[in-house]
Each structure stands twice: as structure tokens, then as C-alpha cells.
Amino acid sequence: MRVALCQLNARSDRDANLKTATELLERAHEGGADLALLPEYADHLGPGAAADDRWPAAMAEVAARLGMWVLAGSYHEAGPDPEHTYNTSLLLDRSGGVAAVYRKIHLYDVDIPGRVSYQESASVSPGAEVVTASVDGVPVGLSICYDLRFPELYRRLAVEGGARVICVPAAFMAHTGRDHWEVLLRARAIENQCYVLAASQIGDHDPGRTCYGRSMVVDPWGTVVAQAPDAVGVVFADLDFERLDKIRAELPSLANRRL
């Protein structure tokens, strides 16, 4: 399976975001990707984000036109009330059909004095369902950004869902990303002996927010096999499931677990 991570700098101009996302997905297709990922909030990253009813149809059209699996990052889905949206990932198959929907479970409610204060729950409702889906016969688990700090979710994806690949569309903040992004991604890959695919936002966003970027693919041994430079663009990797099986057979930590 060839995968592509699309790293972009979404802002509050939804038309411009869609144009850039489409161009990156087209580059992913030209590079032979079977599955391409966009980052968290690829539709809009900025103040005053309302539900986006155009994003699902637009992404479905691209997936169908390219004949490629697309994890359409996440977008602002209409929520349970007018004050809240869902932070929602769509997995689209090669015909543009919706293969899976995942709503972010863990919301980023953080107050670091002098650095960042953000309450995602003020405008976003949490999801409740742990989601895996089959991509060309490969079980793929879904997560979003801040979920990365909660290993119990990833263990459920690997054990209950049988995931061999776990996706992490993200808009990871630069001040934490420098120290935590790669460490957490590698830990989740090692713990669950899965490939971890992390597509991130990069650069400055309104208002006063900077995302770390460094989109990467981590193999089940915890090795970073592909990483994006600090720019908008696409990075590719080929997943080796024979290697995954070998790692799980030689170091059977999933099979040896007792809790």
C-alpha cells in the first residue's frame, strides 16, 4: 500500500483551502498513492468556523475522480446544537463513497499560562465511537490530533478493531510539537505494532496560532520512514505488511498482554 500525507496551511478562506487540498490530493494520485491523508481542519482553521456543508461532497468528488482512498482530514460537521460542531474525519473509498466517519473523542481543553489557552469544548462536541474501517482489505483505525495523548484509544483500535494502520490528521501546536509530536507518534506505533500515518497542518494560522507540521509515517518498530519538510506539500511512503507481521511474530507484545 502506497500512502501520501498532504501537509497544508489552512486558514479562514474555505475556497482557498479546498483548492490547495485538491491540488495536494492530485499530486498524491500522480505519485501513485492508494490512500492519501489531509490534516485536521483542512476545511477551515481560524476564527468563527461554522459547520461546512460543502466539504464532504467536494472531497467525495475528488476521491471518485482520482479513484483513490482519501482520508479527508477533519472538517467542521454540524453538531448537536447551534453552538457546537463536531470535529469529524471522513474516510472516502475509490468511488467517493463514505467508508467511515470518526468524530474526535478527546477535545483540546488546555491552559498553559503565557503560552496557550484554548477550550475546544466551547465550540465542539465530542464523539463517542471508536472507528476502524477496511481500506483495500487492510484494517485502518481513525483518530484526530489530541487523541494522540490517550494511548487507551489506540490500544482499542489495534486490539478490538484489529488495526494495522492508524491515521492521525492533526493541527499540532508548535510549542508542544517540538517536544512531543514525534515521541507520541513513535510510542503509539511501537505500543500497538502498527503503521501510524500523521498528516499535519504547517505554519501560522489566524489568530496567533502556529502549527508544527512535520507530517510523518512511522513503522511498527517506531522508525520514522517518511517525514515532510517544513512546507506545504506531499510526502510518500510504501507500507510493508510483511515487516509488520514479522515484528508482531518476533516481539509478540500484543499477544502477550494480560490486561
Active site residues: 40, 104, 145
User: What is d(CA 187, CA 98) in angstroms, rounded to the nearest whole number?
Assistant: 30
* Residue 228 near residue 235 (C-beta atoms within 8 A): yes
* Residue 73 near residue 39 (C-beta atoms within 8 A): yes
Which amino acid does the sequence have at 221?
W
Report the DSSP pairing between strands 209-212 and 116-119.
unpaired
Please give the backbone phi and psi of residue 180, each rounded to the nearest 5 degrees, phi first: -115, -25
Give which of 123, 144, 118 is closest to 51, Cα–Cα: 123
User: What is d(CA 171, CA 174) in angstroms, rounded to the nearest whole number?
Assistant: 9
